[in-house]
């Protein structure tokens, strides 16, 4: 049974440790085909989070700004979203369309993600599903406009968050990672998978 935080659904510990490890090995295959990169912020500074994607679309950023692209910065199409990751979408969002993007974010020791909205998709009726792996992270959720009261929760390895309805357009971000808090990954750090319908 999910915990409701500002109408987002948090499924604590939905993914058991053996499935988490299998997903990490699926991600090694994804990264071999689509190497991680440090996207540039619009200010010309690299983001502290490194990323890659799977699915029809991936998230890229360059001098034109942030956008979805059907190709990796190296020009190749993105790898398919691994079946085990699609199965989690189907479990928590059975009525939704299929995800067209699985963004893979890598957080090292000092990585964070500033407060933002996910609003580059064309259908906000479709949910966003997030999977946390590895070190725990302090997740903050605010409101549909910038500012106002926020709530924070620690996201741990195996937690799944579903943003739909009123939650879909809330500002959110990652304040910090408790580096070394999980044994899942050989080198510590956190991986977040964010699946979305883009078109």
121 binds ligand MD3 (CB under 6 A): no
Pull the structure tokens for residue 31.
Answer: 């990264």
Strands 113-116 and 172-177, sheet pairing: antiparallel
What binding mask, one character per residue, do residues 135-164 give for ligand MD3 by CB under 6 A, x or -? --------------------------x-x-
Nearer Cβ to ligand MD3 (59/82): 59
To the question of whether residue 103 is assigned a binding role by annotation, the answer is no
Q: What whole-number distance in Å separates Cα of residue 101 and Cα of residue 194?
A: 8
For the CB of residue 195, give the shortest distance to ligand MD3 in the complex, in Å: 9
To the question of whether residue 107 is assigned a binding role by annotation, the answer is yes
Q: What whole-number distance in Å separates Cα of residue 173 and Cα of residue 175?
A: 6
CB 78 within 8 A of CB 58: yes
Nearer Cβ to ligand MD3 (79/130): 130
Nearer Cβ to ligand MD3 (75/90): 90
Q: What whole-number distance in Å separates Cα of residue 136 and Cα of residue 191?
A: 10
Nearer Cβ to ligand MD3 (48/79): 48
Residue 86's H or E segment, with its range, is: helix 83-92
Pull the structure tokens for residue 73.
Answer: 């910065």
Q: In sequence order, what are the beta bridge partners of 131?
A: 160, 193
192 binds ligand MD3 (CB under 6 A): yes
| Interface residues toward ligand MD3, by CB under 6 A | 103, 105, 113, 118, 128, 130, 161, 163, 167-168, 170, 172, 174, 192, 194
């Amino acid at each position: 049974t999910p915990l409701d935080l500002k109408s987002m659904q948090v499924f604590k510990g939905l993914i058991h440790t053996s499935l988490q490890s299998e997903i990490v090995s699926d991600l090694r295959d994804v990264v071999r085909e689509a190497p991680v990169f440090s996207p540039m912020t619009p200010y010309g500074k690299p983001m502290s989070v490194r990323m890659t994607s799977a699915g029809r679309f991936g998230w890229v950023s360059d001098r034109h700004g942030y956008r979805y692209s059907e190709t990796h910065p190296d020009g190749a199409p993105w790898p398919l979203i691994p079946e085990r990751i699609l199965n989690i979408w189907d479990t928590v969002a059975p009525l939704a369309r299929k995800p067209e993007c699985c963004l893979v974010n890598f957080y090292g020791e000092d990585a964070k993600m500033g407060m933002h909205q996910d609003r580059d998709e064309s259908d906000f009726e479709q949910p966003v599903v997030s999977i946390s792996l590895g070190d725990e992270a302090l997740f903050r959720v605010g409101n549909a406009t910038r500012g106002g009261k926020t709530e924070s929760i620690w996201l741990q390895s195996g937690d799944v968050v579903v943003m739909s309805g009123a939650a879909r357009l809330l500002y959110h971000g990652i304040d910090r990672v408790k580096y070394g808090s999980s044994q899942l990954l050989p080198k510590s750090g956190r991986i977040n998978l964010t699946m979305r319908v883009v078109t």
